[in-house]
Amino acid sequence: MSPEDRMEVLTRQLCAGQSTESNWEHVQQAPPDPIIGVTDAWRADPDPRKLNLGVGAYRTEEGKPYVLKAVREAEQQILADPAMNKEYLPISGNPEFNRLARTLALGPGSSAIQQNRVATVQALSGTGALRVGAEFLSMHLPASIPRIVYLPNPTWGNHKSIFAKAGFQVREYRYFDAATRGLNFAGMVADVSAAPPGSVLLLHACAHNPTGVDPSPEQWSRLLEVARSGGLVPFFDMAYQGFASGDLDADAASVRLFLEAGLELVLAQSFAKNMGLYGERAGALSVVSKTKEVATRVESQLKLVVRPMYSNPPMHGAAIAARVMGDPKLNALWKEELRGMAERIKSMRQVLYDQLVARNVPGDWSFVLKQIGMFSFTGMTRHQCEQLVSKWHVHLTLDGRISMAGLSAATAPYLAEAIADVIQNA
Ligand code: KET
């Protein structure tokens, strides 16, 4: 029986109330997620040497997940607060969190904030912010404009699905140059310049995932001009503020550059990495408009996106983040811990590089030192990555991305040995 005939029989049986098979009998097994699936495979791996270098999550020198001291302290304060309750948050989330989050990204002196031109809603971390932002744009860009988004090639895998779900046609702009392991800036400018007016231009604010390659300040200025003259809608994904340089303000420079040039823009923020709030799903979506009046209407429409999706956001993570950002003592402690995390990752770059050079692994590995943020994009082939997993129990995404934040001085030599083997023998 053809699948179509089978469906018809099933439908008829169902209507007659006599189906013996599951209504979901035809459902196909979906593949595991290319990033989250790596953690599942690592969990299931019984080998004691196993390493999880897949998902971008910070680990200590001992390989353990890290809850920041500032976060623990904020949580204790929340628990001890007699005014704490579990009522629903507003549809747009915790107002104090929203205010502090946008100020963290856009800067306290930003004219957009001072002129109340920013509509912010709390979101289910960075992913949720992207999804709500994409949905809002899909609904409210002028009707005459086709829904097209330009993503860097490569980009975080979920970007494509998020924008496609919101009805966008997904296109790519050139970004990574495999030969130099740097930025293909000429290709990027050419592709972005050719985008039809009104297209959404997705930009990683800093610490590009997966490549670890960011534009220079001069290149950002040029991109700003291209976006402005092309009438594009910049959508910044800022999942790693503080993880590129260790400094929250320095890492927000690209967003602030576009903002101060007077462009309208969309911004997705995540506190997963920089505050270690991964599972708390603390994030924010901000839409910057030309006037306060437009921003007010935009906020009302953002609420209409949120309400039928999940009604209102969860409170605990946002309450923690608001305390950490808002309390001067906790804020200082957080910044110190953030700098510490960024520095530990950086030091892992040097350790891995030294280990690879000491083993005379063929190739120029200096990119390990140059790349920025949580990841190293190694250029290893899919086959080499598969060998790392099956033979060495080093779990990573099959595009050759390594989470440097999951590495320690104790495990770097083992990784270098494994890489040396698969590069020479796979
Ligand atoms: N943007 C980028 C660029 C990104 O790398 C991630 C997460 C997110 C947004 C969303 O993070 P959230 O937890 O929703 O705030 N990236 C890591 C985890 C994942 O894939 O979900 C990763 O690439 O490993």
Same domain, 37 and 163: no
Please tell me the predicted confidence (pLDDT) of residue 18: 67
CATH code of 170's domain? 3.40.640.10
| Upper half-sphere CA count for residue 213 (Cβ side, 13 Å) | 22
Ligand 1 pocket, 211 CB below 6 A? no
Task: Let me know if residue 72 belongs to a domain.
Answer: no
Instruction: Compare 6 and 398 and report the one with higher pLDDT.
Output: 398
Annotated catalytic residue within 191, 214, 237, 399: 237
Q: 60-92: b or e for each residue (b if 16 or more CB lie within 10 Å)?
A: eeeeeebebebbebbbeebeeeeeeeeeebebb
Task: Identify the three-state secondary structure at position 361.
Answer: coil
Number of domains making up the chain = 2
333-352 pLDDT per residue, tens: 999 999 999 999 999 999 99
**Cα-to-centroid distance, 127 and ligand 1 (Å):** 7
Give percent above pLDDT 70 in the chain: 97
Same domain, 255 and 352: no
Please tell me the predicted confidence (pLDDT) of residue 367: 94
Mean pLDDT score, 195-219: 97
Same domain, 311 and 352: no
Ligand 1 pocket, 373 CB below 6 A? no
**Cα-to-centroid distance, 126 and ligand 1 (Å):** 7
Ligand 1 pocket, 251 CB below 6 A? no
Q: Taking 90 as the threshold, does the pLDDT of residue 281 lie above it?
A: yes
**Cα-to-centroid distance, 239 and ligand 1 (Å):** 7
Last residue of a domain, one of 326, 353, 383: 326
Ligand 1 pocket, 241 CB below 6 A? no
* Closest residue CA from atom 20 of ligand 1: 35
Task: Let me know if residue 414 belongs to a domain.
Answer: yes
Ligand 1 pocket, 412 CB below 6 A? no
Residues in the chain: 426
Find the angle CA(113)-CA(117)-CA(121) to the nearest 5 degrees: 85
Q: Which atom of ligand 1 is nearest to the CA of 283?
A: 15
Please tell me the predicted confidence (pLDDT) of residue 4: 77
Instruction: Compare 11 and 251 and report the one with higher pLDDT.
Output: 251
Mean pLDDT score, 195-202: 98
Please tell me the predicted confidence (pLDDT) of residue 71: 98
Phi then psi for 186, rounded to 5 degrees? -60, -45
Same domain, 173 and 275: yes
Annotated catalytic residue within 42, 251, 273, 334: 273
Please tell me the predicted confidence (pLDDT) of residue 106: 98
Please tell me the predicted confidence (pLDDT) of residue 12: 73
Q: Which residue range is the domain that position 304 belongs to?
A: 88-326
> Residue 17 — very low, low, confident or very high, per pLDDT cuts 50/70/90?
low
Please tell me the predicted confidence (pLDDT) of residue 113: 97
Please tell me the predicted confidence (pLDDT) of residue 166: 98
Same domain, 121 and 266: yes
Ligand 1 pocket, 240 CB below 6 A? no
**Across the chain, which distance is largest between two alpha carbons, in Å?**
72
Distance CA 244, CA 394 (A): 25
Mean pLDDT score, 219-247: 97
Distance CA 273, CA 241 (A): 8
Mean pLDDT score, 282-294: 98
Q: Which of 3-17, 23-37, 282-296 has the highest mean pLDDT?
A: 282-296
* Residue 156 annotated to the active site: yes
Last residue of a domain, one of 326, 346, 362: 326
Q: Taking 80 as the threshold, does the pLDDT of residue 101 lie above it?
A: yes
Please tell me the predicted confidence (pLDDT) of residue 317: 98
103-126 pLDDT per residue, tens: 999 999 999 999 999 999 999 999
- Least confident span in 10-14, 137-141, 290-294, 400-404: 10-14
Q: Taking 90 as the threshold, does the pLDDT of residue 292 lie above it?
A: yes
Please tell me the predicted confidence (pLDDT) of residue 2: 75
* Assigned token pair, 24: 């979901």
Task: Let me know if residue 420 belongs to a domain.
Answer: yes
Last residue of a domain, one of 326, 357, 384: 326
Task: Let me know if residue 13 belongs to a domain.
Answer: no
**Cα-to-centroid distance, 90 and ligand 1 (Å):** 25
**Cα-to-centroid distance, 191 and ligand 1 (Å):** 25
Mean pLDDT score, 197-223: 97
Same domain, 285 and 142: yes
The DSSP annotation for 216-256 comes to -HHHHHHHHHHHHHTT-EEEEEES-TTTTTS-HHHHTHHHH
Task: Let me know if residue 290 belongs to a domain.
Answer: yes
**Cα-to-centroid distance, 189 and ligand 1 (Å):** 25
Same domain, 411 and 306: no
* Closest residue CA from atom 12 of ligand 1: 126
Same domain, 301 and 358: no
Same domain, 420 and 380: yes
Q: Cα separations (Å) of 178 from 211, 293, 307, 388? A: 10, 46, 43, 21
Task: Let me know if residue 239 belongs to a domain.
Answer: yes
Distance CA 163, CA 161 (A): 6
Task: Let me know if residue 4 belongs to a domain.
Answer: no
DSSP alpha helices (H): ranges in 30-166? Answer: 36-44, 69-80, 95-106, 111-114, 125-140, 158-165
> Residue 10 — very low, low, confident or very high, per pLDDT cuts 50/70/90?
low
Nearest to 406 by CA among 149, 84, 65: 65
Same domain, 318 and 339: no
Ligand 1 pocket, 212 CB below 6 A? no
Q: Cα separations (Å) of 173 from 135, 149, 170, 189? A: 22, 10, 10, 8
> Residue 267 — very low, low, confident or very high, per pLDDT cuts 50/70/90?
very high
Q: Which atom of ligand 1 is nearest to the CA of 208?
A: 3
Please tell me the predicted confidence (pLDDT) of residue 265: 98
pLDDT mean across residues, the chain: 95
Q: Which atom of ligand 1 is nearest to the CA of 128?
A: 14
Same domain, 59 and 182: no
* Residue 177 annotated to the active site: no
Mean pLDDT score, 177-200: 96
Please tell me the predicted confidence (pLDDT) of residue 96: 98
Q: Which atom of ligand 1 is nearest to the CA of 35?
A: 20
**Cα-to-centroid distance, 18 and ligand 1 (Å):** 45
Q: Taking 70 as the threshold, does the pLDDT of residue 198 lie above it?
A: yes
Best of 270, 310, 374, 375 to mutate for ligand 1, by most ligand atoms within 8 A of CB?
Answer: 270
Task: Let me know if residue 20 belongs to a domain.
Answer: no
**Cα-to-centroid distance, 175 and ligand 1 (Å):** 19
* Residue 33 annotated to the active site: no
> Residue 158 — very low, low, confident or very high, per pLDDT cuts 50/70/90?
very high
Q: Give the distance, in angstroms, between the CA of residue 5 and the centroid of all CA atoms in the same chain.
A: 43
CATH code of 46's domain? 3.90.1150.10
Same domain, 289 and 337: no
Ligand 1 pocket, 239 CB below 6 A? yes
Annotated catalytic residue within 42, 156, 334, 365: 156
